[in-house]
Structures are given as C-alpha cells and as structure tokens.
Amino acid sequence: MHTYPTGKTVLSRFHWHCATIWTEPIDENDEPAVKFTKAIHTPIVRSKSYDYRYVEIEPTLPMKERIEIVNLYIPVFDKLLGRVNFKGKGKGYKKIMQDGGVPSEYLFELSKIKASLIIGKFPKPEELPETLRSKIWRD
C-alpha cells in the first residue's frame, strides 16, 4: 500500500511482471477491504470504481507473457471483479502470512514491473511510489 497526503493506492502483483494498481480503494477499519479468491492469487480490493485499463510500462515484457496476461489472466480477473462479495468478515493478509519470509523469487518488487492493470481512475504521479512513478511518467 502506498499512502499519500489525500489517500491510498493499493498495489499487488497480478502476474510475474504485471501489477494491479487500485487507485480508489474503500477502507474498512482504516485498511483497504481485500478479498482473496480461489481462481487467482491476486487480492481483489473493494473499490469505488472497477473500471480498469491495461498499461504496458516497459517494452521488454516477453511476448508470451503479454499474450497470457491479455488473453487469459485479464478475462479471468474481469469476471471476478463483479462477483466478489465484500459483506461479512473477510480474510485479510494477516491470516495468510507465515513466519520465515517469502522466498526471494516470489518477492513483489516494483523495479521488476513491466505492465499494470490500473483499477479506478488513472493515478497522478504522487499517488504512486517513486519506483513505479518513474516507470509510468518518464521524462
């Protein structure tokens, strides 16, 4: 999660090199409401808007991965957006975390992001961490 003076942006990895950027999350108990599904490993965030766009950030995204994201993962993600029920007690991140840390090959590193799904309004530069901001808004 990235916090800025007027709000929050929730970030997670959608695929190896693709991030989800939730720009209009809705909080419950001062934290963004999040649900996990069995269909994908990416959390679904309760949002004011579920409008989304796919944005390629770096041309080095392998063609095979680009095809997988656009033809397989985004259609599944799209179907889940309308079906997630945020009523009732959900499973947040804390219940699924384990001791011992995440293996290095599975770490979510913004420096390795080459594409993104932006859910909600298109973010302003200050609404993103510097690493991601410099990838989207290049000089």
**Domains of the chain by residue range:** 2-136
**Nearest of 80, 87, 7 to residue 38 by alpha carbon:** 80
Strand order from edge to edge, sheet including 2-4? 2-4, 7-15, 18-22, 115-119, 52-56
Q: What is the pLDDT of residues 37-92, one digit of tens each?
A: 777 778 889 999 999 999 998 889 999 999 999 999 999 889 888 787 777 655 55
User: Could you give the CA distance from residue 19 to residue 57 in angstroms, rounded to a whole number?
Assistant: 10
**Phi, psi dihedrals of residue 31, rounded to the nearest 5°:** -130, 150
Average pLDDT of the residues in 16-36:
90
Read off the pTM.
0.85
